Structure 1
Amino acid sequence: MKATWEKIEKNLGVLEVEVDAERVTAALDKAFNKVVKKANVPGFRKGKVPRPIFESRFGVESLYQDAIDILLPEAYGEAVEQTDIFPVDRPEVDIEQFAKGQSFIFKAKITVKPEVKLGDYKGLEVPVQKAEVTEEELSAELARLQERHAELVVVEEEAAANGDIAVIDFDGYVDDVPFEGGKAERHSLELGSNSFIPGFEEQVVGMATGDFKDVEVTFPDEYHAENLAGKKAVFKVKLHEIKRKQLPALDDEFAKDVSEFETLDEYKADLKAQLESRKEEELKGLRENAVVDKAAANAEVEIPEAMINSEVENMVRDFDTRLRQQGMNMDMFLSFSGQTREDLQNQMKGDAEKRVRNNLVLEVIAKQENIEVSEEEVNEELATMAEAYKRTPEEIRSILAANGSLGSLSEELSLRKTIDFLVSNSVEVEAVEEAPAAEDTKAE
């Protein structure tokens, strides 16, 4: 087989392939063995029609498309490997020649991975910050833990306020007609959570236990139920009960309840250490992002639209997976947010382009610096994954191999090593705080 690659512009080129006649004959044989099983010829059972009689009745040309479908993918794959190109989109294939006894010639217009011209990537300056935890941050974390361990107590004499849980019945009407989904009994609603139609919760604030009230609201114009979008509605509301969070006191008993420590001071010291560790990880991530962004900004690369679109689809799939883990799905999210799938894709496009650019630059830096991943490093990562998923390393390897993801694991490890290389070769500089904006002293 002969294959030639000619670049015609930027990341676009033409791959011309010629496959010898012997392989064409073999592909026609496979095509015949496939279609003869369904061929209806008087006097012969299906699958038993002799080849000469089949070709005489239907013509050898009837086998061409099936033969092309058999031969083209394998020939294309071999040609890509032979010419050492990296396609990033489906090729546009033009069949030049295909016939019995002749070679198979086709051309494929292909978008390939772009060339990257590296700029400076060593000695990059990145701001460094200390992982210090302030008293305000420690107090905020303690307050959050108080909230988590708060008890709900029934309030008898006071009116409902923001932050309370109101247990209500409601019955909704549009133009004096009840609508689907507008009725519930003893529904627990956290006031101030903005989980209901705008304006609803504010009108429940101030109600007392046993009160009745007509709550008037207007559905948002982008409301997911089109028959209600923009409509005015009246909800007849009855307040059954008010529950209010009662925060535990910050004392030694609290520390004993929520930790293994005996005193609040011991617990606060441990909590501060945890916050410092968490902040160190966050700052480490920020430094890694900063050095990669700078290296990518210094490089020259023209990214094909196909690569960006592919990354957008990956991001959409990941987002859908996270939604499902939260008991939601993409259709529900789009309905609630009033967006279309295209809107979501457009929002992700900027981040997708940045991801593609950064990964392309990291790949070339890894090649430039001979950064490779050893089998031992792969095995270590498999062992880490096995521990996390309560499987054996061999099981994890088999699962990744079956999914075709084992190579991706090596690529991921290579990217991590390259990022570590960039960080170790960067220069720490003190973070400069932005000066506050000067007040406008211009006389009116």
Structure 2
Amino acid sequence: MVKSTAENLSPTRVKLDVEVPFEDLKPRLDQAYKTVANQIQVPGFRKGKVPARLIDQRVGRGYVVETAVNEGLNDYYQEALAQTETTPMARPEVEVTSMPGVDGEAEGPLKFSVEVDIRPEVELPDYKGLKVTVEPAAASEEDEQKALDELRSRFGTLKAVERPAAKDDFVTITLTATVGDEQVDHAEDLSYQVGAGTMLDGMDEALEGLSAGEDAVFETVLAGGDHSGEKATVKVILGGVKERELPEADDDFAQLASEFDTIDELKADLKEKAAEGAVTGQGIEARDKVLEELVKLVEVPVPDSVVNEQIEQHFSQQGHSEGDDHDTAEHRAEVESNAREAFRNEIILDKVADAEEVGVDQGELIEYIISTSQQYGMDPNQFAQMLDQAGQVPMIMGEVRRRKALAKVLEYAVVTDTAGNTVDLTAFVTPGGEDGATSADSADSADSADSADSADSADSAPSADSPAEAEKTPAKKAPAKKAPAKKAPAKTAAAKKAEAEAEAEGAADAEEAPAKKAPAKKAPAKTAAKTATTKAPAKTAAAKKAEAEGEEKAPAKKAPAKKAPAKTAAAKKTAEDKAADTAE
């Protein structure tokens, strides 16, 4: 039986000293001899029939022991985690300190130590009765008019005009990008709305004031393709200008754009929706401020390794490399701050969920999967299968649980508006309402993606507990989950739609420009599993000697990667079936 002890190095890091008796290692050692016997050829012996003593002479006992240790290291580590009740949060660092017959007694124990980051233990503060002040929930006439204008824009038509291009015009352009003397991209007849900011930095300024047939040259940094991050000179030629004509706001328009017969009925409905939106916005403000107040009450230590991993994940999944124009000290500091904030929020809300005995039932899980998949423009069944295959369903359940915990804190809070009126958030925190975050999050902007980048830090801990995954390729990533932080959750790269969908239908056929500007903030998908780093024991002198003599021996066996579980039938079920299986 494995013997292990734990030593706390810091509030977020622990060291495990593990000792494996020789009798526990021997079955793996015997199997290692069989494995090596099938990998080498010795005159006078059939493959697989080479005696252990000859293997020791030809290859070296140290190599065989290393093979056995690599095969069993992960299992021994798991036993040590269970014995010490340790929940890892990041990659473990493993060092083998003694191997029998190598740097220890022939039949002595295997000894190794592990350092790994863990969830910090925090004392839950008194979260009941937090006081916050929010703005009154009042929709203005400007809000109502804006809603009507947006609806009219969706039914607008594009009309060619003979004048210089201005903001909000739709133009047809030709782009040519050069880096130095090399033309790196060229595209013709692209449709674009001036001022949209969805292509290249500097292009909107270059287009404003141009007439059909005229061109302009501007400098920019390419954000995609083989030359991403490089400075380029771009020439843009304006082919034509169109402006959007809005339909008259009359009864005919009301019948075309809605289920109402008159424009007055439509305006009344838009007014009601604007009022509802104001209430939702007030609830979001209250939620964010309550969470801020809660976090102020407790100090949560944050593991640096978790933060650093989130930073690197953020930049790698946006296609940025270290040192490029996007990876600035300011941007990196912003991502780090958001990662730490999201981690603290998760830890505290998990404690609240424990205290309130918050659970997640089948219906809540289904609702979350369906609503989230719709935000990402994905089929719910496909989304559920992706989550299942990536092992992210437990993460989703944890997220729903934290949302419910935050709703509980909000329910206990004392919320008033700036006029001194008590704010009733019943509809916002009860089932069928906003549930503290779920529906409200979809109303928020997706621009604050960075705060969600690190939201997966605490949830991904169970998959980070294998020291034998150093050679493992990261599993397919699932869509990023939303952190219950004060900032709006982000959309995933796989599901994020182009902002141009909000434009008029006349520009819907716009082609993608060369070196198209990437979204400024893009939530990285959730990593399904984290790999581990293991310090491999050095080869024995005998093993090195065998190599020098040119003996044919098996290549050094790598630490085994943790095998992904076989795809279950549940992965093929509908979103409802999958949620039911998980909730049970």
TM above 0.5, one fold? yes
CA apart distance, 1:432: 6.9
Residues 341 and 73 from structure 1, CA distance in 2 versus in 1: closer, same or farther, beyond 3 angstroms?
A: farther
Contact 1:334–1:341 at 8 Å: present in 2 too? no
Once residues 400 and 227 of structure 1 are traced to their aligned partners in structure 2, the CA distance between those partners, rounded to angstroms, is 32
CA contact (8 A) 2:177 2:232 kept: no
Taking the TM superposition and a 5 Å limit, the aligned residue runs for 1:71-86 are 71-86=72-87
Partner of 1:125: 131
SS in 1 for 2:361: helix
Equivalent residue for 1:261?
A: 260
Aligned AA (1:420) = A
Equivalent in 401, 405, 428 of residue 392 of structure 2: 405
Amino acid at match of 1:154: A
Q: Give yes or no for the alignment of 1:154 onto 2:137.
A: no
Residue type at the aligned position of 1:147: S
> How many angstroms does 1:223 deviate by?
5.3
Corresponding residue SS for 1:219? strand
Aligned mates of 1:273, 1:314 — CA distance in 2: 43
Matches within 5 A, 1:29-178: 29-99=30-100, 100-155=106-161, 160-167=165-172
Range that drifts further, 400-409 or 75-84: 400-409
Residue 277 in 1 paired to residue 273 in 2? Answer: no
Distance 2:190 2:87 in 1: 57
Structure 1 residue 78 displacement after superposition? 1.2
Partner residue, 2:364 = 381
**Closer, same or farther in 2 for the Cα pair 1:108/1:226, shift >3 Å?**
closer
**1:371 is the counterpart of 2:357:** yes
- Give the Cα separation in 2 of the matches to 1:9 and 1:173: 52
**Alpha carbons 1:119, 1:300 under 8 Å: kept:** no
- Distance between the aligned counterparts of 1:129 and 1:259, measured in 2? 31
Count matched residues. Answer: 401
Whole-Å Cα distance in 2 between the matches of residues 118 and 385 of structure 1? 27
Bigger shift: 10-19 or 67-76?
A: 10-19
Kindly tell me: are residues 261 and 410 of structure 1, through their superposed partners in 2, closer, same or farther at Cα, counting changes over 3 Å? same
Pairwise CA distance, 1:4: 1.1
Contact conserved, 1:378 with 1:410, CA < 8 A, in 2?
A: no
Cα deviation, residue 14, structure 1: 2.2
Kindly provide the CA deviation profile for residues 164-197 of structure 1, in whole angstroms up to 9, marking residues without a partner as x: 334456778999x894546x65554544556564
Equivalent residue number for residue 414 of structure 1: 401
Gap change, CA 1:190 and 1:87, over 3 Å in 2: closer
Asked if 2 retains the 8 angstrom alpha-carbon contact of 1:17 and 1:79, the reply is yes
- Larger mean CA deviation between 404-413 and 120-129 belongs to 404-413
**Cα gap change, 1:348/1:169 in structure 2, threshold over 3 Å: closer, same or farther?**
closer
Greater strand share, 1 or 2? 1
Mapped contact 1:88–1:306 kept (Cα < 8 A): no
* TM-aligned CA distance change 1:29 to 1:280, over 3 Å: farther
The change in CA–CA distance for 1:258 and 1:77 in structure 2 (over 3 A counts) is: same
**Alpha-carbon offset, residue 273 of structure 1:** 2.5
Q: Gaps spanning 5+ residues in structure 1: where?
A: 321-329, 434-444
Q: Deviations over 1:121-157 (max 9, x none)?
A: 221112244433211101011112222211112335x
Change (3 A) 1:432 1:230: farther
CA distance in 2, matches of 1:292, 1:161: 43
Structure 2 gaps of 5+ residues are: 101-105, 374-378, 421-584
Maintained 8 Å contact 2:350/2:402: yes
Alignment of 1:173-192 (within 5 A): 179-181=183-185, 185-192=188-195
Give the whole-Å Cα distance in 2 for the aligned partners of 1:298 and 1:399.
Answer: 38
Counterpart of 2:5 in structure 1 is 4
Match of 2:244 in 1: 245
* Alignment of 1:352 onto 2:339: yes
| Structure 1 Cα separation of the partners of residues 195 and 12 of structure 2 | 53
Q: 1:96 to 1:243 in 2, by over 3 A?
A: closer
For residues 295-374 of structure 1, what are the structure 2 equivalents within 5 Å? 295-312=294-311, 320=317, 330-331=318-319, 338-340=325-327, 345-367=332-354, 369-373=355-359
TM-score by length of 2: 0.60
User: Structure 1 residues 26, 413: CA separation in 2 closer, same or farther (over 3 Å shift)?
Assistant: same
Cα deviation for residue 350 of structure 1 reads 0.9
Q: Does the CA-based 8 Å contact 1:223-1:338 persist in structure 2?
A: no
Normalising to structure 1: TM-score of the pair?
0.77
Identity %: 26
Query: Are the counterparts in 2 of residues 17 and 107 from structure 1 also a CA contact under 8 Å?
Result: yes
Distance in 1, matches of 2:67 and 2:84, equals 26
- Conserved? CA contact 2:189–2:239, under 8 Å: yes
Secondary structure of the residue aligned to 1:67 is helix
Structure 1 residue 268, shift from structure 2 partner: 1.5
Task: For residues 292-335 of structure 1, give each alpha carbon's deviation from its aligned partner in whole angstroms, at most 9, with x where no partner exists.
Answer: 22111110222121122244456568xx4xxxxxxxxx33x789
Query: 8 Å contact 2:229–2:326 — kept in the other structure?
Result: no
Shift, 1:160, TM fit? 4.8
User: Would the aligned equivalents of 1:219 and 1:228 in 2 still touch at CA under 8 Å?
Assistant: no
Stretch moving more, 19-28 or 307-316: 307-316
2:217 corresponds in structure 1 to: 217
The 1:227/1:268 distance shift into structure 2, 3 A limit, reads closer
Give the counterpart letter for 1:424 in structure 2. Answer: E
- In structure 2, the partner of 1:440 is none
Quick check: 252-261 or 38-47, which moved more?
38-47
Asked whether the 8 Å contact 1:174–1:234 carries over to 2, the reply is no
The range that moved more, 36-45 or 158-167, is 158-167
The 1:91/1:181 distance shift into structure 2, 3 A limit, reads: closer
Alpha carbons of structure 1 residues 431 and 307: separation in structure 2 relative to 1, 3 Å: farther
CA RMSD of aligned residues (A): 3.7
SS for the counterpart of 2:95 is strand
Q: CA–CA distance in 2 between the matches of 1:61 and 1:243?
A: 76
Matches of 1:59 and 1:174 in 2, distance apart? 57
- On the 8 A contact 2:18/2:111 being kept in 1, the answer is yes
Amino acid paired to 1:24 = L
Compared CA separation, residues 174 and 109, structure 1 to 2 (3 A): closer
Structure 1 distance, partners of 2:386, 2:174, is 51
CA, structure 1 residues 342+66, in 2 after alignment: closer, same or farther (shift >3 Å)? farther
**Which whole-Å CA distance do the structure 2 matches of 1:426 and 1:168 have between them?**
54
Higher relative contact order (CA 8 A, sep 6+): 2
